[in-house]
Amino acid sequence: MTYHGFEKGLAGSAIGQLAAMQAVVCHGPRDYRLETVERPTAGPGELVISIAACGICASDCKCYSGAKMFWGGEGQPAYVKPPVIPGHEFFGYVEELGEGAAEHFGVQKGDRVIAEQIVPCDKCLFCKSGKYWMCEVHNIFGFQRVVADGGMADYMRLPSTSRVHKIPEAISLEDAAIIEPFACAIHTVNRGDIQFDDVVVIAGAGPLGLMMVQAAHLRTPKKLVVIDLVPERLALAKTFGADVVINPKTENAEAIVRELTGGYGCDVYLETTGVPAGVTQGLSMIRKLGRFVEFSVFGADTTADWSIIGDRKELDVRGAHLGPYCYPVVIDLMARGLITSKGIVTHNFPLSDWEQAIVVANSLDSIKVLLRPERLER
C-alpha cells in the first residue's frame, strides 16, 4: 500500500530515511486506516504545525459512511479525492517555517495557531472580491490533498494561501479545538440578522447548534427557542441562554412557537439538524417574511413544497457556509469568557483509537469528540 509516493511502514522504505508520522488516511468510504506516512515539510511561505487536537465533525462522519455529497453519484461529482488525511477542525503549534512564512503569517516557531478550513486559490472571482470562503476551486483541508492534507495526524502543512490566526495561550485546549465550528456558528447567526424583538428558533442542539445558542444569546433576541430530541442537550442549551426548549418527541414544536408569537411563527429559523424533517419543520413554523438560514450538511435529499417560500410566505432563505471573517471574533469572545466549550467537548481519544472515536462521534453518546496525537513532546 502506498501513500504520498512512499511505502507504508518504516523498515527498508523511503520513509525510513525521512521524518515520519502517524496519520489517519481516507482511501474510500469506510476505508480509513492508521498509517505511517512522510511528515510534511514547509515550502516557501508555508508552515508546518504539530497538531494539538482535531475535532470530528458531522461531515467527517458522513464522509466516512459514504454520503453522496462527498462521494458523488446520480450526476453529482465526488468532492473527496482519496487518499487524503481527513480533519478540518484542528489547531496546533508552529513547528517549521518556510522561507518568508514568518513575515507572511506574522507568526514564529512555537506559536499556537489555527488555519481556516478552506485553502483559497486567491485567483478566482470570489477570492479577488474578498469572498474567499466561496472560492471556485474550493480546496478544504481534509477532503482533497490537492494543496494539503487535514489534521488527523501528528503534523500538517499549511499552504501560503491559508488564512492563519494566532490563539492566545490563555485559551484552553478544549476551547481552541472548537474555534473552527464556532466560527461557522457565528457566521450562521450573522446570516440570521437577529434583531432585539425577534423570536429565534435553532433546530438541532448538536455541537454547532449549541454554539449557535451561545452566539444568538449574545444578540439578546426577544425569545430564543431550541428544538432537539435529546433531553441532555436541551438542558445544556438552557444553560447557554435558551429561553424555551422543545423536544418534538413529546411536544408539538410548531404549536408552542405559534403560541409564543401570537400565532404568526418565528422571525428567524436556523436549521442545523442535518435531516430533512428539520427543513420542512422550519418552513412550516416560520412567519411570513421570515429569515430561514440553512447550515447543515445533509446525508439525504430533502423534498419540500417550494411554493411556501414564494407564493405563501415570501421568505428570505439564506445559506451559511464555513466561518469567514469570524475566527478573530471567536478567539476574542473566548478570551473574554463569553463563549465556551464546557459541556460541548465530551470525549478525547488518542489518534490510534480513531475508529472508536468516529463511532462515538456519530452517536448520541457524545457531543464533540476530539482526536489527540500521542507524541511525547507536548
DSSP-assigned beta bridge partners for residue 330:
none
Closest CA to 122 of 138, 107, 106: 138
Q: How far apart are CA 53 and CA 89, in angstroms?
A: 8
Task: Give Cα 46 to chain centroid, integer Å.
Answer: 23
| % of the chain at pLDDT higher than 70 | 93
Q: How far apart are CA 325 and CA 374, in angstroms?
A: 32
Q: Is residue 8 over pLDDT 60?
A: no
> Of residues 95 and 3, which shows the higher confidence score?
95
Mean pLDDT, rounded, for 149-176: 97
| % of the chain at pLDDT higher than 90 | 86
Q: How far apart are CA 370 and CA 346, in angstroms?
A: 8
Q: Tell me: the pLDDT tens digits for 286-331? A: 999 999 999 998 878 899 999 999 999 999 999 999 999 999 999 9
Q: Is residue 109 over pLDDT 90?
A: yes
Q: Which three cell numbers stand for residue 270?
A: 436556523
Q: Which three cell numbers stand for residue 235?
A: 438542558
Q: Tell me: the pLDDT tens digits for 52-100? A: 999 999 999 999 998 887 887 766 778 888 999 999 999 999 999 999 9
Quote the pLDDT of residue 18.
58
Q: Domains for the chain: give ranges and CATH numbers.
A: 2-178+341-372 (3.90.180.10), 182-319 (3.40.50.720)
Q: Is 18 helix (H, G, I), strand (E, B) or coil?
A: coil
Mean pLDDT, rounded, for 215-225: 98
Give the list of residues 6+ apart from residue 115 with CB closer than 8 angstroms, or none: 49, 90, 141, 158, 162, 163, 164, 165
DSSP 279-348: HHHHHHHEEEEEEEEE-PPPSS-----GGGTTTTT--EEEE--S-TT-HHHHHHHHHTTSS--TTTEEEE
Q: Is the dihedral of CA 175, 177, 180, 181 positive or negative?
A: negative
Averaged confidence pLDDT in the chain: 93
**φ, ψ at 333 (rounded to 5°):** -65, -35
Q: How many angstroms separate the Cα of 20 from the Cα of each of 7, 38, 155, 189?
A: 12, 5, 10, 41
Q: Is the dihedral of CA 359, 365, 370, 373 positive or negative?
A: negative
Confidence of residue 5 (pLDDT cuts 50, 70, 90): very low
Q: Is residue 12 over pLDDT 90?
A: no
Q: How many residues does the chain have?
A: 378
Confidence of residue 375 (pLDDT cuts 50, 70, 90): low
